[in-house]
Structure 1
């Protein structure tokens, strides 16, 4: 090869690398813009709803629990179970993952109360933890979606689909995704990277916010998400035109909830399986990502946790994205 040819080859290679970097940055910028727009709309609607409350009425919240039952006077449509916990102790604020209203209605810790009620604050050490465990499992799926958006590069063209309702007996929490490849076989290091991202989210102690919006706003927020856009009409139809959204950090997704109060409730976590469940179009495929986790503070020996990890790798039997949807089931994403 002549000197001029060698120089030309180097110039061409540099140009190709610059083009590839530009495309990656362009894809990243487009994704970042979509996330930023979604968050801005979420924040604006959150502010609008607060400002629309008008006159603030008082409600009585009868707290039932340790150290003693007490009646709190709170602000209707503004005060949350977490605000009630603040009147009790720092320990109540830190331990309370979920609230129970009037003895039967699970309620997000940061969701404003709507009328006078009784209030119980739930943690993972109560005698009947089924309700709070389901909220924890659902939150793990939600966090998994956030982790996946952070670890995948733009060229993978990741699209979040949905996560099925929590079933503790299944042995795994789940998030379904679409990738523009039909042959992804993740390595152990790739799965560890996803698990590590979950732990990072837990360490950030991100508050999990709930917001109910009209279908039109939800459509605008998810206009760049093919699968969310397709799912929204059915979700809104079964909820009187409303859609329930959740946010942690800058990650927003659709779920009927409830979820635990913060990401810090996630303790030990392993994302250990990715099953290809169906092809999607000429180049893409659906994948079911699965994991297992323990609430923060729970200890389990290595052997016992290993059994949980092994079990969580079996394909979760929840309805798959490509299977027909039954009318009697909720169309909310979890």
Structure 2
């Protein structure tokens, strides 16, 4: 009897500790709202740095475009603004841009006179576009993971490793609530995550870039120790000492490189697997993997099945040790998401 009483007391203390931790931590919606608010405030501050409209010349290069010069607005106009002065094809098919030889987001403002090339998935060499697309799909995967679980289960987003398209899958590392350490996703859980991603794709949300100083990024991720460490590392590796944030809806993320213009450029998209990476400083680490093709490229269902089977295998880890499968877990706590020269100026 004494042993049972002691066990009950321990269970009650653990429950109260978990409840206190959950009460101290804001909900997912509150966290996303705060991050988006800081992002919006910094975005408005940077736009206010250009109180007077100054004109810049943008020399556009590409098939049938050489010699085209657009007069645009410094600090306000973006490569997408330039595309709108060309053709509908350039607006709908462009994924990223090349500005003076630097890969550039379509939604990032131009700050000086420059040369511009619009890149698409059907270019002769789509390597850079594919990398940006893979990076974007991984970012979308993190957004889905953060919002697909119930509020009483904590999901911490870690990094999205840079993987080549030839790896067969993109991925995002996460740490789930410790109470889910024994959870294995069922096929229905993976389908639920895929539906969450498809909903974001159908909303055609814009990936808004914003280059900021580390203190701003640290404020954005004030509730994530891992993200703060990632901010400091990225700032040290940057020549300007800055980091790049992106906002998609109300989701704010860090990115090591440009993302494509919008979620609507994704088409076929599936979450294919969740692998365990073992314990880490934040808890049990998982690698969530996915597969996607852009809107301009589609695969027959038989080819897609083969690609999907390949995307289920763990990526980015060499000589991963084999582990025995744990017993079947209870149903996953996923909630279905309801995760020659123009003189025209443009903003």
TM-score by length of 1: 0.83
Could you tell me how far apart the structure 1 residues matched to 2:82 and 2:56 are? Answer: 12
Deviation by residue 1:149-189 (Cα, 9 ceiling, x = unmatched):
12112233110001011311111001000012322210000
Residue 206 of structure 1 and its aligned partner are, at CA, apart by 0.3
Q: 1:177 matched to which residue of 2?
A: 174
Are 1:31 and 2:12 counterparts?
no
Distance 1:276 1:155 in 2: 22
Q: Distance in 2 between matches of 1:83 and 1:155?
A: 42
Once the 2 structures are TM-superposed, how far is the Cα of residue 67 of structure 1 from its aligned partner? 4.2
- CA RMSD for the aligned pairs? 2.3
- Partners in 2 of 1:118 and 1:318 — Cα distance? 40
Q: Which residue number in structure 2 is paired with residue 193 of structure 1?
A: 192
1:249 corresponds to which residue? 249
Task: Indicate the residue corresponding to 1:11 in structure 2.
Answer: none
Which residue of 1 is the match for residue 123 of structure 2? Answer: 126
User: Which residue is equivalent to 2:164?
Assistant: 167
CA-to-aligned-CA distance 1:95-148 (integer Å, 9 cap, x gap): 11111123x321100101122222111111111111111100000001101111
C-alpha contact (below 8 Å) 2:170/2:290 kept by paired residues: yes
Find the counterpart in structure 2 of residue 202 from structure 1.
201
Unaligned residue ranges in structure 2 (runs of 5+) = 1-15, 320-347
Q: Following TM superposition, by how much is the alpha carbon of 1:77 offset from its aligned partner in structure 2, in angstroms?
A: 1.9
Instruction: Give the structure 2 partner of residue 302 of structure 1.
Output: 301
1:15 aligned partner:
none
Confirm or deny: 8 A CA contact 2:22 2:152 kept in the other structure: no
Contact 1:108–1:259 under 8 Å retained in 2: yes
1:29 is displaced (CA, Å) by 5.5
Residue 80 of structure 2 aligns to a residue in which SS? Answer: helix
Find the counterpart in structure 2 of residue 323 from structure 1: none
Query: TM (normalized to structure 2)?
Result: 0.80
1:217-228 → structure 2 map (5 Å cutoff) = 217-228=216-227
Equivalent in the alignment of 2:74:
76
Which residue number in structure 2 is paired with residue 327 of structure 1?
none
Structure 1: state its 5+ residue gaps: 1-18, 321-334
Name the SS for the 1:47 alignment partner.
Answer: helix
* Contact 2:169/2:315, CA 8 A, preserved across alignment: yes
Using a 3 Å threshold, how does the CA distance of structure 1 residues 218 and 264 change in structure 2: closer, same or farther? same
Deviation at residue 73 of structure 1 after TM alignment: 1.0
Partners of 2:264 and 2:306 lie apart in 1 by: 24
SS in 1 for 2:299: coil
Aligned length: 298
> Structure 2: how far apart are the matches of 1:87 and 1:165?
34
1:23–1:98 Cα change, 3 Å: same
CA-CA distance at 1:318 after TM superposition = 5.4
